[in-house]
């Protein structure tokens, strides 16, 4: 069982928006503004999409955005495109003992 | 180009030792933490630990403490992940990743992964 809870799957049609949630505790998501999101296509390495809850690395489309409320972080993808179909993982700093925890991953299907 | 290049796939027997590598290039390797992440077949990402090549400071996930050793040699811009006695349950893809510098948490550059298969 992963430390952070994500829905197993979400889906949307091209052009629509989808939101993936990531629920943790006050020891991780709720305690720090250090949530990151990763996209992983089959057979590929993960790619950083969002870090520090809302920041987007250069090269990541602005269709991807992050937010947080309490112990739940969210990744929103607007204007869905076929290439967005992938697995998405949230990740949070969890203090100086555990350091980093990941969510179990969410499979995004673009219908 | 900033990149991390990992060593090739390995096939080992239970009880054998193994050391895989992750070589950085295109940036100041000593100045960034390098983390290791396990991904078992069809499963999610698991953070194992990280090393700061500048002074070899190392941090481990409690789940992997004592199970693996993480190290780095800044003279050759390479981080390592090693096992002293492999088990079948160590079969997985292993990724190294660079942590963004500063008071921030995110891993912005990833290696291509090293597949480790442990089978008798």
Residue entry with tokens 């969002």:
A50
The two structure tokens encoding residue A30:
């709720």
CB A18 within 8 A of CB A10: yes
Q: Do B106 and A46 touch (CB under 8 A)?
A: no
Nearest by CB: A98 against B61, B111, B112: B61
In chain A, which residues touch B (CB < 8 A)? 2, 32, 34, 36, 38, 40, 45-48, 50-52, 55, 57, 89, 91-93, 97-105
Q: Do A45 and B107 touch (CB under 8 A)?
A: no
Residues of A in contact with B49 (CB under 8 A): 99
Residue B27 pLDDT grade (very low, low, confident, very high; cuts 50, 70, 90): very high
Torsion angle in degrees (nearest 10) through CA of B29, A99, B37, B28: -10
Tell me, what's the pLDDT at B1? Answer: 96
Tell me, what's the pLDDT at A1? Answer: 63
CB B10 within 8 A of CB B84: no
Q: Which positions of chain A have pLDDT values less than 70?
A: 1-2
Tell me, what's the pLDDT at B120? Answer: 95
Residues of A in contact with B108 (CB under 8 A): 48, 51, 57
Nearest CA to B96 among B117, B116, B81?
A: B81
A52 bridge partner residues? none
Nearest by CB: B44 against A50, A57, A104: A104
Residues of B in contact with A38 (CB under 8 A): 45, 107
Residue B102 pLDDT grade (very low, low, confident, very high; cuts 50, 70, 90): confident
What value does the mean pLDDT take over residues B11-35? 97
pLDDT tens sequence across B70-91? 999 999 999 999 999 999 999 9
What value does the mean pLDDT take over residues B25-38? 97
Distance to chain B for A41, nearest Cα, Å: 12
Strand locations in chain B (E): 3-6, 10-12, 18-25, 34-39, 45-52, 57-60, 69-73, 78-83, 92-99, 107-110, 114-118
Tell me, what's the pLDDT at A2? Answer: 66
Residue B103 pLDDT grade (very low, low, confident, very high; cuts 50, 70, 90): confident
Q: Do B110 and A46 touch (CB under 8 A)?
A: yes
């Amino acid at each position: 069982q992963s430390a952070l809870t994500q829905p197993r799957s979400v889906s949307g049609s091209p052009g629509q928006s989808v939101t993936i949630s990531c629920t943790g505790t006050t020891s991780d998501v709720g305690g720090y503004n250090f949530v990151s999101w990763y996209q992983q296509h089959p057979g590929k390495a993960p790619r950083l999409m969002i870090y520090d809850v809302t920041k987007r690395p250069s090269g990541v489309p602005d269709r991807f955005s992050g937010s947080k409320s309490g112990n739940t972080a969210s990744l929103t993808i607007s204007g869905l495109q076929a290439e967005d179909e992938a697995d998405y993982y949230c990740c949070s700093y969890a203090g100086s003992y555990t350091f980093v925890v990941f969510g179990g991953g969410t499979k995004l299907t673009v219908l | 180009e900033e990149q991390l290049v990992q060593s090739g796939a390995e096939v080992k027997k239970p009880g054998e030792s193994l050391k895989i590598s992750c070589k950085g290039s295109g940036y100041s390797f000593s100045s960034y933490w390098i983390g290791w992440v396990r991904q078992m077949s069809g499963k999610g990402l698991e953070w194992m630990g990280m090393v700061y090549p500048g002074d070899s400071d190392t941090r481990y996930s409690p789940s992997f403490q004592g199970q693996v050793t993480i190290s780095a040699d800044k003279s050759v811009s390479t981080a390592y992940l090693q096992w002293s006695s492999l088990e079948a349950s160590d079969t997985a893809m292993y990724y190294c990743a660079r942590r963004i510098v500063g008071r921030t948490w995110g891993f912005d550059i990833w290696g291509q992964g090293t597949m480790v298969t442990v089978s008798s």
